[in-house]
Structures are given as structure tokens and as C-alpha cells.
Amino acid sequence: MRAEKQILTKAYVARLNGSPFFIVVDYRGLKVSHLTELRKRLAQAGAEIHVVKNSIFQIAAKEAGVGELNGALTGQMAVVTGQKEISAAAKALKNFGAEFDKLKVKFGYLNNQRLEEAAIKVLADLPSLDVLRATLLGLLNAPATKLVTLINTPASQLARVIKAKAEKG
């Protein structure tokens, strides 16, 4: 392998090892301006997209421990990686794909587990991690709030009765 290709392969191995996920997309037919817009949207989601040669990415994926991609790399492809949550990147790809029919999600990997296109669409429909945390905390907090209200009810009723007697007398 030529020195340039080895350098590119090492860069992609480092990118794959530094990201908990990657999503492979087919960008055939997208204009440069559209790809620039997609890069901006993915940057807001904490992700980035890189166009890569199939053969180089195949070698990089194998070296990164992803395993054999079994001929899944065909056509013009780009790889989305990121440091944050996969659902934000998947949501950005889904919204962009709805606007521009040219972008097609092929597959992805999350923690070395393969995700097909349908699973990535499900991840795109999930609320953000902050919303999920807030929902969970609300569910955990609700029983405690009800318990405090239940314990305080007799005391507050007694206080109202005493106040009413004092105002009458």
C-alpha cells in the first residue's frame, strides 16, 4: 500500500476508535453546497461527515476491530462519526434526507454492534438524552412527591381547623 493510503487508513482507524458510533451514508447525487449544509447540521449535533474511499475504509474498519463489512461498501459513501450521542446525528441525517432525497443511510455501528437502516431511523426518532434523563427523574420523583403530600395532609388539615376556630372565636 502506498504511503498516502497508509496515512489515510491510520487517520480513519483513529477516528473510528475515537467515536462510539459510525454511520455509513450514500451521498451520490448531492451537490457540494448540500454536503456543506449537512456538515453544518452534523456539527450542531456533535458529529462530522467524511468522504472516504471504500477500499481504505474497509481496511480501517478491519484494523479498528469492527470486523468484516461483507461487501456493504459500494457506491459513493461517506462516514459520520461523533463524540456525542448517536441519536442526534441520526436525527440530523434523517431530517436532511427528508429534504434532499439523494442522501441514503446504509448501515452503522454502535459500540461494535451493527445497526441496519431501520434501527438508525428508530434512533433518530428517540428524544435527546437530556429529555430522557428529565423524564426518568420525573418518574422517580413522582412517588416521593405524593408521599410527602400524603404525610403533610393531616397536619395541614389540622392547621386549617385551628385557624378557622381562632377566626370564629
- C-alpha 46/C-alpha 100 separation (Å) is 21
Q: What is the pTM of this model?
A: 0.69
pLDDT of residue 95: 83
Taken in order 55, 61, 62, 68, is the CA torsion positive or negative?
negative
pLDDT by 10s per residue, the chain, length 169: 678 778 888 888 888 777 888 888 888 877 888 888 888 888 888 888 888 887 878 878 777 777 666 666 777 788 888 887 788 888 888 888 888 777 788 888 887 777 787 787 877 777 777 777 888 888 787 777 777 777 877 777 778 888 888 888 7
